[in-house]
């Protein structure tokens, strides 16, 4: 598929909206799967991203990531799925993204088609991993030092935890002022480089992905 674009949404809900969000997570899957414009999608729960355990979960914020044809973006953006969320959400964050780099797989697929182009604007990053069950506790013990380093990193605008399930399928969505700020955290931060070394040594991921995106368009707030 040509001219692909990635869009990520986060909706905040209140009160009984949390129950409606659970319903939408079940109903939207079939609609998204049938949409011929979409090449990849993930419905996402969110969390604080501090421990990546169930206690991090935030039932007031939910997300959707889709990769689709650029010419179909406007129709999708005002379609049944997104409008259903807007009927009860109290706020929406939306970002249109173009992949700059992507390494690894998500659900045994390469979800993002990388284009080579110059970009010196803000950057979004998605990290996602499927953790081997026997390494969950080891992973959780390593997380606090990394998240503390992340949230204190120069150039970080926002970072939230994302996941397809409360345990074992964890990730982070973050926004940075520049690619150099993100690289400094990823490859020069002591806590993160130590975690990378542990990953290589123990092999605690059954699957992992790291992707960087140019933020082409952004609305709302995280």
pLDDT digits (tens, 9 = 90+) for 51-68: 555 667 888 999 999 999
pLDDT > 50? residue 168:
no
Fold of 4-219: Alpha-Beta Plaits (3.30.70)
Instruction: Evaluate the CA torsion angle 183, 187, 193, 199 in order and state its sign.
Output: positive
Average pLDDT over residues 102-127: 92
What average pLDDT does the structure give for the chain?
84
**Alpha-carbon span 82 to 212, nearest angstrom:** 24
Can you name the residues that pair with 198 across neighbouring β-strands? Answer: none
- pLDDT value at residue 191: 47
pLDDT > 90? residue 219:
yes
Q: Could you tell me how far CA 142 lies from the centroid of its own chain?
A: 20
Question: Is the pLDDT higher at 183 or at 136?
Answer: 183
- pLDDT value at residue 164: 83
pLDDT > 80? residue 17:
yes
Q: Tell whether pTM > 0.75.
A: yes
| Every domain of the chain and the residues it spans | 4-219
Average pLDDT over residues 165-184: 81
Question: Is the pLDDT higher at 222 or at 175?
Answer: 175
Question: Best-predicted range by mean pLDDT among 103-112, 141-150, 195-204?
Answer: 103-112
């Amino acid at each position: 598929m040509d001219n692909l674009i990635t869009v990520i949404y986060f909706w905040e809900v209140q009160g009984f909206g949390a129950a409606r969000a659970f319903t939408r997570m079940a109903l939207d899957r079939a609609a998204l799967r049938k949409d011929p414009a979409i090449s990849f999608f993930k419905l996402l729960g969110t969390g604080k991203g501090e421990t990546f355990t169930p206690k991090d979960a935030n039932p007031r914020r939910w997300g959707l990531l889709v990769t689709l044809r650029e010419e179909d973006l406007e129709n999708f953006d005002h379609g049944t799925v997104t409008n259903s969320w807007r009927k009860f959400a109290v706020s929406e964050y939306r970002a249109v993204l173009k992949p700059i780099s992507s390494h690894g797989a998500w659900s045994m697929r390469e979800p993002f088609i990388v284009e080579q182009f110059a970009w010196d604007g803000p950057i979004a990053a998605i990290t996602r991993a499927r953790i081997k069950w026997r390494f969950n506790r080891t992973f959780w013990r390593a997380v606090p030092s990394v998240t503390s380093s992340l949230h204190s990193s120069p150039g970080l605008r926002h970072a939230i935890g994302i996941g397809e399930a409360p345990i074992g399928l964890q990730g982070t969505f973050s926004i940075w002022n520049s690619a150099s700020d993100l690289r400094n955290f990823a490859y020069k931060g002591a806590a993160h480089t130590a975690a990378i070394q542990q990953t290589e040594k123990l092999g605690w991921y059954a699957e992992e992905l790291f992707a960087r995106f140019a933020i082409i368009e952004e609305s709302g707030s995280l």
